[in-house]
Chains A and B, each alone.
Chain A
Amino acid sequence: MSVGTPIAHAAGFIAGDRPEIVTARFQYEDAYTLERFLATEGYEGLRAALAKTPQQIHDDVKSATVLGRGGAGFPAGVKWGLTPQGVWPRYLVVNGDESEPGTYKDRLLMELDPHQLIEGCLIACYAAGLSQCFLYVRGEMALAQERIAVALNEAYAAGYVGKNILGTDFSVDIVLQWGAGAYVVGEETALIESLEGNRGMPRLKPPFFPAAIGLYGKPTIVNNVETLCNLPWLARKGPAAYTAIGTETSPGTRMVAVSGHVRRPGVFEIVNGTTTFRDLIYGDEFSQGIRDGSELKAFVPGGGSAPWFLPDQLDLPFEGKLVGAAGSMLGSGAIMVMDDQTDIPYAALTLARFYAHESCGKCTPCREGGTWLARILERVIDGHGAPEDLDLLLEVGESICPGAFPHAASERLGLEAVPFPYKMTTICFVGPSAYAPIHSALTLFRDEFEAKIRPRTRIPVVAAAVAGGGS
């Protein structure tokens, strides 16, 4: 088995001896140029797509079951079909606001192969009948913005984007827009608000989803960068080749970022659905085990907002439905590994603080609850906690997520798994995300929290009779 190759110009990416759908060009230092792109089957997928009818391409994507790679894992082909007929204009919005803690796959795709993304956008617009595309890139990703801007200029000049693409009557404009630094804008409706020039605050999805009423009140498809990057390959090779990789429910490949206390953190393109967490954390071609010979204590399987897993779950494959049943989610494809040196309450606080800080302030449970949770936890960690504070954390969390909250099974604690999803009182997932790490940590490692609570000496209050006369 190959041990994988770190690539110097693609910091963090580790190539391996595996099928490559979206990272094939990462080996070239000039992968982001139009020249290299064209030399490596660039825009061939677009040509192949334009040779078919939009409906055929749409059906290909549907039959290939291309799952959304942003977090929710909704099939892209189904999403495209949700737009109401006959309402114009309709938009494609590309969600390049990758901000989930531990996730940095879209950044690499945008920095290293921007033309692939542009090609993916064009194919999506062609298949779903969209006339205008907005590429929203996270504010902090300067290199990605620059490379996409250059690539867009090249593509416009070469006739791949704009009016009458490749001499057909298919025309699409792509507009690059960058964010102003808010995690919540990764949520699709908040992203749309931000694109419109408003505060990045999510809209309530019932009654209207973006596919019906989105950007500027028009039907809008919001797709993740990695999702779209799959399309050129799919268009070139066809759905059968795509579904030949991975499992039936999760075909193709998937970008996964492993970070934390491992020997070799990095981003890998893995076969979807079959690779296990043990492979990813301990495998030679992946992260090569825990650093400094320590033991694995826990890991987050799908980005900072996912409930945690224990070593008990190592043999689960990286597959959405199975992970959901085991009490967590794959989310944006980021594994964060904690070894046995980790201060679990502090790790939970770090994540909870992030989500409390990133709350947009729109809905009450997230705005007030997230900060409240973080402050209780801070108090506990600082040694000012009381035993009842631990239950309070769970009760405040229940105001954000009523009912049973998903968590992993633990043989050590004799716990059964509570499967996904959870219920929530908030508009979007930022609020529950502040609670998820606290809930996991407290459920799976309650003893570590209790150890932080110093026993208090209570001075007994004794009722003493007040003497009438005094002595």
Chain B
Amino acid sequence: MTDTPKPAEANQPKEAVEAATTDPATDEAKEAGVAEPAPDPDAVPITIDGRSFSARKGELVIAAVERAGTYIPRFCWHERMSSVGMCRMCLVEVDSGRGPQITVSCMVTVAPDMKVDTASDTTKRMQEGVLEMLLANHPLDCPVCDKGGECPLQDQAYSHGPGESRFVEEKRHFEKPIPISALVNLDRERCILCDRCTRFADEVAGDPLIHFIQRGNETQVMTFPGEPFSSYFSGNTVQICPVGALTAEPYRFKARPWDLTQIESTCTTCSVGCRTLVQASRDELLRYQGVDVDAVNWGWLCDRGRFNFEAVGSPDRLAEPLVRGEGGLDATSWNTAMEAATQLFDDALDAGGGDGVAVLGGARGSNESAYAWAQLAAALGVTHRDAQLGDGLPAAVVDLPRATIDEAAAAATVVLVGPDLKEELPVLYLRLRHAATNNTTKLVELAVADTGLTRHAWRSVRVESGDVAAVTAALSAVDVAEQLGTGPVVVVAGRSNLAESESSAAAMIRAVLDAAPGAKVLPALRRGNVVGALQLGLRPVAEGDQDGLGILAAAAAGRIDLLVLLGVDPIADCPDTDLARRALAGARRVIAIDTFLTDSSSQADVVLAAAAYAEQGGTTTNLEGRVTTLGQKVTPAGTSRPDWMIAAELADRLGLEDLAAELASLEAITDAIAANVPAYAGATRAALAAGADVLAVATGDGGAFGADRPAASERNRYDYRLVVSRRLYDRAVGTAKSPSLAPLVGDVAATIHPLDLDGLGIAAGSDVTLSGPRGSVVMPIAADAAVPRGSVRIPFNAGSSVNDIVDGSAPVHDVHIERLSS
């Protein structure tokens, strides 16, 4: 189906009427006189406004009627949340054999031979009455309201309202918008108390931080005293608000809906791959809205993904290429820069062949960019290439039998071994939380500390990093082993601790797979297109090829003549900061392709300005292997270019005419991927344009994954096992360069269990020294009961220097904590 893209909140009655058509298959069958198929056991025959319709068993009247092509107005009902029947807008008359009864169509499911009347005089009278009452205290400040123009209240007042109001009393007054979080404002005068935001916060996000207070005519939505609505998902409440009561700070007063143009795209902030609508006005990105995709995000987005559009338009963006001259990096023309880059390639290839060149990164870009760079590297004999920097899992994880998000949500058991999904893959957290709270799936969690899913888990076991035996023990407990045998098992496998080596993390996952043979894997890797980049060749392939850490180590040892940084900042992104610094110093030449001048790219010899998200089209691959399109909505900043275009030009300049021809255009590369990469055979432009489910899953040998088990180390009982884990808001450019998100990073502290803090005799908030084999760092300490005893947790890339003492190749790190002597 090629529906015009529309936000998940499509409340406009006109659209709905247009979009919904009667099932053409049935009509055709009737016309052709084809013998009727066997009766569907789930079919429920009902009559809607005199026309018969086949509803589905368990379907709500409002949904069945909408499927039949008639729109019943509504405010509180949302198909992804439970019905509450509060707004009373969807009242219709239903005759179930006892005469027409006033019925709340969002609460009642269809029953055989039900007669629904959506247009009776009583129905119309009720709809007009409810709308008049909803508008009675509504301020009607539509001309200055963000929602005006796309407002369900406005639209339905026109389509189903009485036309004028008889309310002449003074309206209810509240203080005009009050901030309920750093990102969301609440205007209680506009609020119609539909319970959507409060229900979302409670049911969907699991952050019940807003609720009704007062009662009757004074009822209002409010936060608890002194507690902001600081949910990672708060932006969704703005999107589902049927009026302009909730407005997003980053979008407020920026545009009117009719000024916006939009394109459907996929968010690449993390690897979940939520479908979005990218909206812009006058070539400036202004808003992302979630699109309801059954298989992935159900319309939801996390706040980081929703609001990091600000970084794309940041004034700090690299607008032109830079080449290092006498006095540092100088802006120059693309011709000069590409000449310089070509020269660096030629020099390096002449000096040491392909072995002296390495390509790091590519997880940020499109499939097309990854493919173009992988092909360029292959053509030049460059085998040292990796989209990861020792911050994920061994690349063979994408060769394991893969699960989809739907399969995980429908599995009998989901084993979580990896990060806190609420922090790293927030919308996957929502999907699994939904599965767990609706009792469809049992979660078995093996985590280094309490996570967002801990309270929804059937079993949650604390496992110290590196303790493979503990994983095996936890899963061989009688009840757990029994549960694993009850049905399909999906393992959500990721990296819980960046102070643990990749191979140690992989060994833990392997132990889970050994305990649950036949389980499918959903790789919980963080970066947007990391799965696509790995599957399209930005990974070590043959024995002896260096992975990310290996490349950095080789560079540090002076064995790399040319290091290409494809949208990566090793100093910030690699867990081993010291190694990254030494690598950048040790590589003879560095070319960086980046959107910002980062700690790493500022050390490069040539910096090529790259086009950012929404400035280029193409395709992307999410953690399931689902291939979806990226939309270009705005022109690239300055003269910046997509990564694939840079690869194509380099190929041309390096004399690789055939490759340059293959990479001639974005469409040509998409076609080449479909033609040349077996897993992507279904990812044709036609299939993608038609919105087909395209799953690209590499068929490799995952057998070697996690096979090498590092020696389990004993922890000295005076030491703490170091856990460095990601939080949603960190210092990555996407957040750091988004003014609305940057302040949310928060303070950094080393957190330990309150009892451990008591035992140390150190006051919370005081500075401590953490010492390990690599040296020591100083930071404040705080208590957090989520951290188990014996561990210390520090957020990654959030402003601390903890990664200075992390050795990327050491299986685990134990640190000593001491009060900082004054």
Q: Is A375 an interface residue, CB under 8 A from the partner?
A: yes
Q: Is A72 an interface residue, CB under 8 A from the partner?
A: no
Report yes or no: B215 in contact with A425, Cβ–Cβ below 8 A. Answer: no
Report which of B125, B193, B214 forms a contact with A402, defined as CB distance below 8 A.
Answer: B125
Minimum CB–CB distance for A213 against chain B, Å? 13
Minimum CB–CB distance for A112 against chain B, Å? 32
Proximity string of chain B (163-195) to chain A, C-beta cutoff 8 Å, 1 when within and 0 when not = 000110100000000000000000000001100
Q: Is B136 an interface residue, CB under 8 A from the partner?
A: yes
B interface residues, tally (CB under 8 Å): 38
Report yes or no: B102 in contact with A398, Cβ–Cβ below 8 A. Answer: no
Q: Is A155 an interface residue, CB under 8 A from the partner?
A: no
User: Residue of A at shortest CB range from B129?
Assistant: A399
Report yes or no: A399 in contact with B102, Cβ–Cβ below 8 A. Answer: no
Report yes or no: A361 in contact with B219, Cβ–Cβ below 8 A. Answer: yes
Given the contacts A402-B102, A402-B122, A402-B125, A425 and B88 also touching, CB distance less than 8 Å: yes
Report the separation of the CA atoms of residues A291 and B236 in the bound assembly, to the nearest whole angstrom. Answer: 63
Given the contacts A361-B217, A395-B166, A424-B102, A368 and B126 also touching, CB distance less than 8 Å: no
Neighbouring A residues of B192 by C-beta, 8 Å: 364
Report yes or no: B88 in contact with A363, Cβ–Cβ below 8 A. Answer: yes
Given the contacts A399-B129, A399-B133, A425-B129, A363 and B218 also touching, CB distance less than 8 Å: no
Q: Is A288 an interface residue, CB under 8 A from the partner?
A: no
Minimum CB–CB distance for A125 against chain B, Å? 29
Interface segment among A223-231, A304-312, A352-360, A460-468: the answer is A352-360
Report yes or no: B126 in contact with A399, Cβ–Cβ below 8 A. Answer: yes
Given the contacts A364-B88, A364-B133, A365-B133, A207 and B216 also touching, CB distance less than 8 Å: no
Report yes or no: B102 in contact with A425, Cβ–Cβ below 8 A. Answer: yes
Report the separation of the CA atoms of residues A386 and B624 in the bound assembly, to the nearest whole angstrom. Answer: 67
User: Residue of A at shortest CB range from B87?
Assistant: A364
A199, A372, A400: residue with the most chain B Cβ atoms closer than 10 Å: A372
Report the separation of the CA atoms of residues A379 and B170 in the bound assembly, to the nearest whole angstrom. Answer: 12
Q: Is B261 an interface residue, CB under 8 A from the partner?
A: no
Q: Is B132 an interface residue, CB under 8 A from the partner?
A: yes
Q: Is A276 an interface residue, CB under 8 A from the partner?
A: no
Proximity string of chain B (450-461) to chain A, C-beta cutoff 8 Å, 1 when within and 0 when not = 000000000000
Q: Is A82 an interface residue, CB under 8 A from the partner?
A: no
Q: Is A403 an interface residue, CB under 8 A from the partner?
A: yes
Report yes or no: B108 in contact with A206, Cβ–Cβ below 8 A. Answer: yes
Given the contacts A399-B133, A425-B130, A368 and B125 also touching, CB distance less than 8 Å: no
Report the separation of the CA atoms of residues A143 and B397 in the bound assembly, to the nearest whole angstrom. Answer: 69
Q: Is A390 an interface residue, CB under 8 A from the partner?
A: no
Report which of B87, B109, B132, B216 forms a contact with A360, defined as CB distance below 8 A.
Answer: B216
Q: Is A166 an interface residue, CB under 8 A from the partner?
A: no
User: Residue of A at shortest CB range from B166?
Assistant: A392
A:170-219 near B, CB below 8 Å: 182, 199, 204, 206-207
Report the separation of the CA atoms of residues A360 and B213 in the bound assembly, to the nearest whole angstrom. Answer: 10
Neighbouring A residues of B212 by C-beta, 8 Å: 199, 361
Report yes or no: B133 in contact with A379, Cβ–Cβ below 8 A. Answer: no
A:355-391 near B, CB below 8 Å: 356-365, 367-372, 375-376, 379
Neighbouring A residues of B281 by C-beta, 8 Å: none
Given the contacts A379-B169, A425-B130, A367 and B216 also touching, CB distance less than 8 Å: yes
Report yes or no: A362 in contact with B86, Cβ–Cβ below 8 A. Answer: yes
Report the separation of the CA atoms of residues A206 and B114 in the bound assembly, to the nearest whole angstrom. Answer: 15
Q: Is A18 an interface residue, CB under 8 A from the partner?
A: no
Report yes or no: B130 in contact with A370, Cβ–Cβ below 8 A. Answer: no
B:31-62 near A, CB below 8 Å: none
Q: Is A427 an interface residue, CB under 8 A from the partner?
A: yes
Neighbouring B residues of A372 by C-beta, 8 Å: 133, 136, 167, 169
Report yes or no: B216 in contact with A356, Cβ–Cβ below 8 A. Answer: yes
Minimum CB–CB distance for A303 against chain B, Å? 19
Q: Is B104 an interface residue, CB under 8 A from the partner?
A: yes
Report yes or no: B217 in contact with A359, Cβ–Cβ below 8 A. Answer: yes
Report the separation of the CA atoms of residues A360 and B192 in the bound assembly, to the nearest whole angstrom. Answer: 14
Report which of B109, B129, B193, B217 forms a contact with A371, defined as CB distance below 8 A.
Answer: B217
User: Residue of B at shortest CB range from A395?
Assistant: B166
Report the separation of the CA atoms of residues A399 and B107 in the bound assembly, to the nearest whole angstrom. Answer: 20
Neighbouring B residues of A360 by C-beta, 8 Å: 215-216, 219
Q: Is A274 an interface residue, CB under 8 A from the partner?
A: no
A360, A403, A425: residue with the most chain B Cβ atoms closer than 10 Å: A425
Neighbouring A residues of B169 by C-beta, 8 Å: 372, 375-376, 379
Q: Is B744 an interface residue, CB under 8 A from the partner?
A: no
Minimum CB–CB distance for B568 against chain A, Å? 50
Tally of A-B Cβ pairs under 8 angstroms: 107
Neighbouring B residues of A403 by C-beta, 8 Å: 122
Q: Is A423 an interface residue, CB under 8 A from the partner?
A: yes
Minimum CB–CB distance for B781 against chain A, Å? 37
Q: Is A410 an interface residue, CB under 8 A from the partner?
A: no
Neighbouring B residues of A426 by C-beta, 8 Å: 88
Minimum CB–CB distance for B118 against chain A, Å? 15
Neighbouring A residues of B134 by C-beta, 8 Å: 364, 368
User: Residue of B at shortest CB range from A360?
Assistant: B215
Neighbouring A residues of B646 by C-beta, 8 Å: none
Neighbouring A residues of B83 by C-beta, 8 Å: 204
Report yes or no: B215 in contact with A359, Cβ–Cβ below 8 A. Answer: yes
Report the separation of the CA atoms of residues A368 and B88 in the bound assembly, to the nearest whole angstrom. Answer: 12
A:420-448 near B, CB below 8 Å: 423-427
Report yes or no: B86 in contact with A357, Cβ–Cβ below 8 A. Answer: no
Report yes or no: A367 in contact with B108, Cβ–Cβ below 8 A. Answer: no
Report yes or no: A357 in contact with B216, Cβ–Cβ below 8 A. Answer: yes
Report the separation of the CA atoms of residues A365 and B166 in the bound assembly, to the nearest whole angstrom. Answer: 15
User: Residue of B at shortest CB range from A375?
Assistant: B169
Report which of B86, B109, B132, B217 forms a contact with A356, defined as CB distance below 8 A.
Answer: B217
Given the contacts A356-B217, A357-B216, A379-B169, A365 and B129 also touching, CB distance less than 8 Å: yes
Report the separation of the CA atoms of residues A372 and B167 in the bound assembly, to the nearest whole angstrom. Answer: 8
B:723-760 near A, CB below 8 Å: none
Neighbouring B residues of A207 by C-beta, 8 Å: 107-109
Neighbouring B residues of A368 by C-beta, 8 Å: 133-134, 136-137, 217
Minimum CB–CB distance for B513 against chain A, Å? 37
Minimum CB–CB distance for B58 against chain A, Å? 11
Q: Is B91 an interface residue, CB under 8 A from the partner?
A: yes
Minimum CB–CB distance for A196 against chain B, Å? 14
Minimum CB–CB distance for A141 against chain B, Å? 20
Minimum CB–CB distance for A365 against chain B, Å? 6
Report the separation of the CA atoms of residues A379 and B167 in the bound assembly, to the nearest whole angstrom. Answer: 13
Q: Is B273 an interface residue, CB under 8 A from the partner?
A: no
Report yes or no: B216 in contact with A359, Cβ–Cβ below 8 A. Answer: yes
Which 10 pairs between the two chains have the least Cβ-Cβ distance?
A399-B129, A361-B219, A359-B216, A368-B133, A371-B217, A204-B85, A375-B169, A361-B215, A204-B107, A364-B88
24 contacts between A and B (CB under 8 A): A182-B215, A199-B211, A206-B103, A356-B216, A358-B216, A359-B217, A360-B216, A361-B216, A363-B85, A363-B87, A364-B133, A364-B134, A364-B193, A368-B133, A368-B217, A372-B167, A372-B169, A396-B166, A398-B129, A399-B129, A399-B132, A423-B102, A425-B102, A425-B126
Name A residues whose Cβ lies closer than 8 Å to a Cβ of B.
182, 199, 204, 206-207, 356-365, 367-372, 375-376, 379, 392, 395-396, 398-400, 402-403, 423-427
Known: A365-B129, A367-B133, A424-B102. 16 other contacts (CB 8 A): A199-B212, A204-B107, A206-B107, A207-B109, A356-B217, A361-B216, A361-B218, A364-B134, A372-B169, A376-B169, A379-B169, A399-B126, A399-B130, A399-B132, A402-B126, A403-B122
